[in-house]
Amino acid sequence: MLQPETTSTLLALATSVVGAGAIAATVVALFGHSGRTEVSAQRRFAMAVGHADRRTVFESPVLAPLMWLLGRLMETLYWPWAKRRLHATLVAAGSPKFYTAEEYMALCLLWGLAGGVLLGGLMWLTGGQFSLVSALFGGLAGIGACVYHVSDLASKRLKSISRRVPFTLDLVALAMGAGSTFTEAVRTVTREAPTDPMNAELATVLAEMELGTTRRAALKNLAERVPLDSLRSIVASVIQAEELGTPLADVLRDQSALLRLHRSVRAEKMAALASVRILLPNLLILISVVLCVFAPVIIRAIRGQLF
């Protein structure tokens, strides 16, 4: 029968061995690998069409091993729905830095670790005690801020594309009416403002066609990258016009007019809805003004000092 002192000593020794092994495994995982990440298909295609390669934390000499470890962790997690949704959001945001879904999840985890360490350290410095709840809250806040950032980028970019679509269709139709082909008209439009989100998407369509993709497949890819109902209807109309032999310039001009009509109808609906929503604040303001004016009289009447 072991003595209590011997048992506690063996338990402490086992705990020390396990802790040392965990630390050694972490050090080996972090610094025993070069930390080089594979070039994704998005980056290869972007570099093929002339984009400069990225400079992110994945290429940082200091953080590359840690990001490689986090990236491998995200690749092993089986979250297909989350990865598909994040991939669609990244594509809608313009593929910032050509991140894959796993890479951006690793980046969000890095922000979560930084937020947890920052908030936990702040609570430890101010209160003199480390709070696990504060660290968890900081981690969730960091992850949430990273996810919100890419979602906000995607939302703003889609709004910009939605505003630009009718004008772009008019320019393409005008160029085709002057004798240009669809490809030449699109190339002329994209040459004027290459940094515009809509023109960037059209430039991607041209790049796909130059690499061997058919026009129909390139336009379908455009509709998948930019999840806008208006753009999907335009792509469907263009494909149908190509199949039926309808003049493409007329189709684009009609689609542009239809989009402007829908926009005006939407503006009228929002104006009517705004008039209803503003009714309650106006009513509250009116009640507060009436109360301010008649409050002395009401108070005197309640106290019986009116007369």
142: in domain: no
> What span, in angstroms and rounded, lies between the C-alpha atoms of 193 and 171?
12
Q: How many domains does the chain have?
A: 1
202: in domain: yes
pLDDT value for 156: 92
pTM: 0.70
> What span, in angstroms and rounded, lies between the C-alpha atoms of 81 and 306?
70
> What span, in angstroms and rounded, lies between the C-alpha atoms of 145 and 19?
33
pLDDT value for 295: 80
230: in domain: yes
Mapping DSSP to helix (H, G, I), strand (E, B) and coil, where does residue 34 land? coil
Q: What residues make up the domain containing 245?
A: 161-277
263: in domain: yes
CB 189 within 8 A of CB 174: no
pLDDT value for 47: 56
* Distances from the Cα of 118 to the Cα of 67, 112, 129, angstroms: 19, 10, 14
Per-residue pLDDT of the chain (307 residues; tens, 9 = 90+): 445 556 655 555 455 445 544 454 554 544 454 445 555 555 565 555 555 556 777 777 777 778 778 888 888 877 888 888 988 898 888 888 888 888 888 889 889 888 888 888 888 888 777 777 888 888 899 899 999 999 999 999 998 888 888 888 888 888 888 888 888 888 888 887 778 888 888 888 888 888 888 888 888 888 888 888 888 888 888 888 888 877 888 888 888 888 888 888 888 888 888 878 888 888 888 888 888 888 887 777 777 776 6
pLDDT value for 151: 92
pLDDT value for 7: 60
64: in domain: no
How is 71-92 classified by DSSP, letter by letter?
HHHHHHS--HHHHHHHHHHHHH
187: in domain: yes
Q: What is the CATH number of the domain that holds 243?
A: 1.20.81.30
104: in domain: no
> What span, in angstroms and rounded, lies between the C-alpha atoms of 255 and 105?
38
